[in-house]
Structure 1
Amino acid sequence: MVNIVLFGPPGAGKGTQSENIIKKYGLKHISTGDLFRKHLGEGTELGKKAQGFMDNGKLVPDEVVIGMVGETVKEFKSAPGFIFDGFPRTVAQAEALDALLTKYDTSISCMVMLEVPVEELKKRLLERGKTSERADDQNEEKINVRIQEYNNKTVPVAEFYAKQNKICKVNGVGSIDSIFGQIEKTIDKQYA
């Protein structure tokens, strides 16, 4: 089983590349945003817990997020592996994910970290903002906050995986195909 954590700042191309990874390797995509929408929409117990925190303007606690991830891993445990998109966001979540995967005799294979210079990110997001409905892609101030938030929160998670020799940095600038080619080489090493 190959389990990939896909990381990169807003505008790095995670969505595009995760689609390519899923298509080629058949991994189950786990995005916390999708999980929140699913659990809230279905009114599950975890969704109700998450809604209570969100209604009060609070972050959903790690144990609720991990619970949602855990249910998905259990449901799709026969998948060839998972691609975690935008998760874990904190070291505590990374530790909890490691513990969860251990229950299924598996672990994170590598953290694929898309690296893109800040000016390129801003350019991409502003361009995407012209066609997307996302207000946070249309305002440079909000873009700066999102990039800074990513930098502040991700560095410790990247260090966590670096200590396990599981961080794989990929240059996120270039054509979609050339970037995916780098990602393929990284993932193929996990199968070797």
Structure 2
Amino acid sequence: MINVLMVNGTRLLRESLIYLIEKDSELKVIGSAENGVQALELCKTLAPDIVLIDVDSSGCEEIDAARLMKTRFPHMKIIILTSHKDSKIFTAGADGYLLKSIKGSELILAVKCVANNMKLFHQDVLDGSEMFFENYMNKYEPRPDSSLTIREIELIKYIAEGKTNKEIAGILYLSEGRIKNIVTGILKKSALQDRTQLAVYAIKQRYV
């Protein structure tokens, strides 16, 4: 069971996210907080596996709180949900950064991935912040090639299901050549040799 602490300043949204997460039998929300200060206190008593922090447009407090959590509770994993692209969010040192526009199924997958010691960054969060992101990874992650984007994880799932590059290209509305390049990148990041090993990896990581 993966224990999650939810941090969101809006009660309705907070309850909606809790409902979404707890629909998955492997996840449990053990507490919720309205802000970063409350979240820090709850981390002491609840010791969650994952802290899911919703950062609004003025989210300096939440970013500072996330940074403190990583310092005080290094074993805890932090995922930041944001509606805007701003390189300052990377200063939190979180384990995952996602846009709020993602699907519910993608959020569930992201929580499981981060709980399994993966760094996860939604591609749209990275757009326009490549240089800052590179500096961030050099500071917080000595092995940046271990990180996978949600798009890459989605592609791994299709590989595990036995789909060809042509079939995956049709599903994702990308060229077959683009799919081939992504697969090559995934193999390099994961230090795996072929699609069979990727399929086994997907099963071990519970992507399928």
User: Same fold judged by TM-score > 0.5?
Assistant: no
The normalised TM-score by structure 1 is 0.38
RCO comparison, higher one (Cα < 8 Å, 6+): 1
The normalised TM-score by structure 2 is 0.36
